[in-house]
Amino acid sequence: MKQNNSKYIIGYKNLLLGILGLVFSFLFYYLNKESLTTGGIIIMALIGMSSMIYIWDYISPKNKIIGKNTEKAKQIKLDKRKDQFKSLKIELYNKSGFTAIINNKKENIEWNEISQIIIVRENLFIENEVCLYLRIDNLKGFEICETSSYWKDFNDKLIISLKEINKNWLAKFKTEPIEINNIVLYKRKNVA
């Protein structure tokens, strides 16, 4: 997949804001340390904490997993229309939906509730990519990054094969449960 340098802009802005905030906080303390009031100390502490948050947002492990694509990380983190799960284990699977254990809680989900699933997994792709993109749309099939397949291609066995991408990782639905970590499951906003 092609790299887009524009994806790094937000990350660099956060890093720059964080560093500038820390420098300002240090200078504010250094120049006024003899006459600091309680209010001044609180303001300085808030600026310092905000700066550290900006810096951490840039260097956090979550952003590293997706190649420091902080724009995408912020979209996943801040969009309240999407339900995020730390783990998903699919137990039963059929054409209408599946039974899954989501964050240690069993739940029945129908396919028409789901718009797409994004799975982030390190070292999944051969070409040093770290993100598996799986789109499910009304039982028509699924799309993995720039390639697509349809359920009918699997003769109703509903097996998703990733052999072409990584021979060491094969996801078999229905025949055996699979467990996926670092998952973001997007549910449709309005289900008919």
Residue 16 or 115, more confident: 16
The model's pLDDT over 46-60, given as tens digits with 9 standing for 90+, comes to 777 777 776 766 665
Domain match, 22 and 47 both: yes
**Residue 119 counted as domain residue:** yes
**Residue 192 counted as domain residue:** no
Going by pLDDT thresholds of 50, 70 and 90, the confidence category of residue 98 is low
Residue keyed to tokens 């912020």: 74
**Pairwise CA distance, residues 128 & 9, whole Å:** 22
Domain match, 92 and 177 both: yes
SS3 for 178? strand
**Pairwise CA distance, residues 150 & 159, whole Å:** 11
Domain match, 86 and 169 both: yes
Question: What percent of the chain shows pLDDT beyond 70?
Answer: 22
Residue 141 has pLDDT above 70, yes or no: no
Residue 115 has pLDDT above 50, yes or no: no
Domain match, 52 and 94 both: no
End-to-end C-alpha distance for the chain, whole angstroms: 35
Domain of 104?
A: 81-187
Domain match, 23 and 117 both: no
When divided into structural domains, the chain yields a total of 2
- What mean pLDDT value characterizes the chain? 51
Domain match, 96 and 121 both: yes
Residue 31 or 104, more confident: 31
As to burial, measured by CB atoms within 10 angstroms (0-12 exposed, 13-18 middle, 19+ buried), residue 104 is: exposed
Instruction: Residue 73: count other Cβ atoms within 10 Å of its Cβ.
Output: 22
pLDDT of residue 27: 81
**Residue 26 counted as domain residue:** yes
Residue 82 has pLDDT above 50, yes or no: no
pLDDT of residue 30: 78
